Amino acid sequence: MSTEENKERIELLQGTLDLLILRTLLLGPAHGHAIAKAIEFRSDDVLQVEQGSLYPALHRLIKRRWISVEEGTSENNRRAKFYQLTATGRKQLALETSKWDKLAGAIARILRPTEEG
């Protein structure tokens, strides 16, 4: 487990994408393109996901059993793969979110120390 954590700390950006995917799937199952669109839309297009990297990230999450995949039908009636959050994934999201908050808070304190005092 500890090595996994190490890895996440080092690969911060990758981990961030994972977190965003998990957060997106909290709203319900979605296919790949929808996830990419959702992330861009919900961040007011600030986060431009390189869409290609989405798929490896999805595979990584499946491998960790944080999300699962099943067949479904897309908006335009095509068969597509839908990703959805698992129970573990839900827990992980909570965990990751609080970690992220702490991290963001810490960085903010360092970058703008005056605002605190």
Partner 1 sequence: MWRRKRVLQDLDQEIRDHIAMATQDNIDRGMSPEEARNAALRKLGNVTRIKEDAREVWTVVWLEQVLQDVQFALRQLGKSPAFTVVAVLTLALGIGANTAIFSLTNALMLRPVPVRNPNTLVELLHQYPGEPAFNGFSWDAYQILRQNHVLSDLAVDSPNTFAVHGQAIEPRTVFGGFVGGTFFESLGLQPAIGRLVGSEADDLGHPVPVAVVSWSFWKNNFNSDPSMLGKQIVINDTPVTIIGVAPHGFSGLNEEMSQHVWLPLSMEPVIHDAPLGWGSVGLIGRLKPGVSLEGARTELAVLFQSAIQTPDVGPYVRKMNFVLRSASSGLSSPIRQMLHAPVLVLMAVTSLVLLLACVNLAGLFLARGASRRQEMAVRVCLGAGRLRLIRQLLTESFLLSLFGGLLGVLLAYFGGRGLLRMVTSGRDIVGLPVHAEVLARPDWRVLFFTGTITIVTAIAFGVFPGMGLSSQPASAMQQVARIGESRPRRLFGKSLIVAQVAVSTVLLSVAALFVGYLSHLRNGDLGFRRDHLLLVNLDLTHSGYDAEQWSRLSQELLMQLQALPGVLSATFSGMTPMLGAGASSFASVDGHPEVHETISINFVSPHYFDTYGTPLLSGRDLSTSDEHGPLVAIINAAIAHDFFGSRNPIGSYITLDHVTGRGNDTPTYRIIGVVADAKYNDLQQQPPRTLFLHAFQEDHFVSQLSLRATLNPESLTGVVREKVASVLKTVPIARVTTMNDQIDAAIVPERLTATLSSWFAALAALLASVGLYGLLAYSVSRRTNEIGVRMVLGATGGSVMRMVLVEALGMVGAGLVIGAPLALWSKLFATKLSPDLVANGSIWVLYGVVALAIVTLVAALIPARRASRVDPFVALRCE
Binding site for partner 1 (CB under 8 A): 31-33, 36-37, 50-53, 55-56, 59-60, 62-63, 69, 74, 76, 78, 80-81
Q: Rank residues 52 and 117 by Cβ distance to partner 1 and give the closer one.
A: 52
Neighbours of 40 (CB within 10 A): 15
Judged by DSSP in three states, 47 sits in coil
Least distance to partner 1, CB of residue 34, Å? 8
Judged by CB, which is closer to partner 1: 63, or 112? 63
Q: Which is nearer to partner 1, 28 or 56 (CB)?
A: 56
- Per DSSP, the residues of 64-111 read TTSEEEEEEE-TTS-EEEEEEE-HHHHHHHHHHHHHHHHHHHHHHHHH
Indicate if the alpha-carbon torsion angle 41, 66, 19, 11 is positive or negative: negative
* Residue with Cβ nearer partner 1 (44 or 116): 44
CB of 72 to partner 1, least distance (A): 12
Report, in Å, the least distance between residue 110 CB and partner 1: 33
Query: Any bridge partners for residue 70, and if so which?
Result: 82
Question: Residue 63 Cβ, how far from partner 1 at the closest point, in Å?
Answer: 6
Residue 60 CA to residue 56 CA, distance in Å, equals 6
